[in-house]
Amino acid sequence: MITISLCMIVKNEAAVLARCLDSVADLVDEIIIVDTGSTDRTKEIGAGYTDRIYDFKWNYDFSAARNYAFSQASCDYIYSADADEVLDEENRERFRRLKEQLLPEVEIVQMKYGNQLQYNTVYNYDEEYRPKLFKRLRHFTWIEPIHENIRLQPVIYDSDIVITHMPKESHGSRDLANFELQVRQGRRLSRHLHNMYARELLIAGEAEHFKKACACFEDSVEDTERGGEELAEAFCVLSRAYRMQKDTLGFFRYAMKAMAAGGCSEICLELGLFYEQDQQDPAEAAMWYYNAAYETEPILILDSGGAQALEGLIRCHRQMGQEEQATEYERVLRGLSDESLNNSGRMAVTVV
C-alpha cells in the first residue's frame, strides 16, 4: 500500500479547516499545513491534527507556497487539498480503495472536482477532473525496444473520486486583485494566466476590475507575440470593459476587430446586451443573441452561447410581443438545462 502526505496551504480558514481535515485525516499518513499569514484560529485548529505546521511569508505566489509545502513531504505520494474541500463517505471509501490498489507506475491521479459553480469560479463545468495526487519522487524509465528514449509524459490515472468544493464565499475578488498586482509589477502574463484572467473577469469582474484590466489587454492586442486565441480573449475583455464604461467608440473598436477575426459567442452576446440595454432595440439585440447561440462558438465562457444567449432571446421576443418565439426559446433553454444536468459536467450560468 502506498503512503500519502496531505499538503495544504491555508490562510484564515478557521471556518472550514476542521471540516476538511475530518474528512481526510485518517486516509493519509502525514499532514503538512503551510500557513501564509492567518490572523484567526487556523493554526490552532490545524494543531489538533498535526504538528507539521509551517509559516510561509506570503508573496502573492500560490505556486511558491505549494512548492514549499510539497518540499516538506516524505511519503510516496502527495495529496494536495484546499481547506474548502470535503470528501463524503462514499468518496472516502473510494479514496481508501485507491490507496490500497494504486499501481506504482502511476505518477498523477486525477479526481473529479465537484460543485465548482456555486460561487462563479473560472470553470465552465460543475464537475471536472483535476490532478490531485502526485508521486513525490519520479523515476525516469526507458521505453521502446529500438531507438529507445526516456518517457517524459507522466502516467496519469483518472479515478472515480469526487471532491466536493464547499467554499464560504467567492474567491473572485481575491484572484482579480492578485492578477492586478502581477500586472502592476510588470509581469507579462503567460498564455495560461492570460486565459484565466480573461475568464475571471467575464465571470466575476465588476466595472472597476475591467477598468484596471484595460491597459493589460490593450497591450495584448499590440503584442506581436500573442497568438490568435489570446487576441480573441483580449477583444472579449475590452468589449465588455468599454460597454460597461458606456464608451461606444471603444466598444465597437474591439467588438468589430473580434468579428473581423471570425467572431465568438462572447462578442455576439456583448452586442446583444449593447442593443438591448443601451439602445433599447430588442430586434437588433435578438439578432445578436441568435448569433451567440447558433452561429458562433464560445471561447471562454461556455454559457455565453447557451443559457445567456437564450435568456436574451426570450427577453427580446417578449419585449416585441412575440410570445410564441419566446416560449419556443424557453423550451430550448429547459432542454439545455436537462441535458447539462445529465452530463458529468454542468454548464455555468453567469448573470451579466
Residue matched to cell numbers 419585449: 319
pLDDT of residue 140: 86
- Check which CATH number belongs to the domain holding 24 and give it: 3.90.550.10
Q: Give the model's confidence band at 338: pLDDT under 50 very low, under 70 low, under 90 confident, else very high.
A: low
Decide if 295 is inside a domain: yes
Q: Give the model's confidence band at 167: pLDDT under 50 very low, under 70 low, under 90 confident, else very high.
A: confident
**What is the 8-class DSSP label of residue 39?**
-
Decide: helix, strand or coil at residue 84: coil
Q: Are residues 284 and 249 in the same domain?
A: no
Task: Give the H or E element holding residue 32.
Answer: strand 30-35
The grid cell for 328 is 419556443
Could you give the CA distance from residue 144 to residue 146 in angstroms, rounded to a whole number? 5
Please provide the size of the chain in residues.
352
* The total number of structural domains that make up the chain: 3
Q: Are residues 198 and 318 in the same domain?
A: no
- Please list the alpha-helical segments (H only) found in the chain: 17-24, 42-46, 62-71, 89-101, 172-184, 191-204, 207-222, 228-244, 248-260, 265-273, 282-290, 307-319, 323-342
pLDDT tens digits for 41-51? 999 999 999 99
pLDDT tens digits for 10-20? 999 999 999 99
pLDDT of residue 350: 29
Q: Are residues 9 and 157 in the same domain?
A: yes
C-alpha dihedral, 39 to 45 to 50 to 54, nearest 10°: 0
Percent of the chain beyond pLDDT 90? 82
Among the candidates 131, 165, 199, a domain finishes at: 165
Is this prediction's pTM over 0.85?
A: no
Average pLDDT over every residue of 82-101 = 96
pLDDT of residue 143: 85
Residue matched to cell numbers 498523477: 108
Could you give the CA distance from residue 332 to residue 235 in angstroms, rounded to a whole number? 29
Decide: helix, strand or coil at residue 86: strand
Task: Give the H or E element holding residue 149.
Answer: strand 149-150
Q: Are residues 35 and 157 in the same domain?
A: yes
Q: Are residues 91 and 210 in the same domain?
A: no
Please check whether residue 36 is in contact with residue 11, taking contact to mean a CB–CB distance below 8 angstroms: yes
pLDDT of residue 147: 78
pLDDT tens digits for 214-236? 999 999 999 999 999 999 999 99
Average pLDDT over every residue of 169-191 = 89
pLDDT of residue 325: 96
Could you give the CA distance from residue 294 to residue 282 in angstroms, rounded to a whole number? 18
Instruction: Look at 133-142, 164-173, 224-233, 314-323 and tell me which has the smallest mean pLDDT.
Output: 164-173
pLDDT of residue 351: 28
Q: Are residues 161 and 181 in the same domain?
A: no
Q: Are residues 236 and 90 in the same domain?
A: no
Angle at alpha carbon of residue 345, lines to 351 and 298, rounded to 5°? 50
Q: Are residues 62 and 91 in the same domain?
A: yes
pLDDT of residue 123: 54
Domain enclosing residue 287, as ranges: 272-352
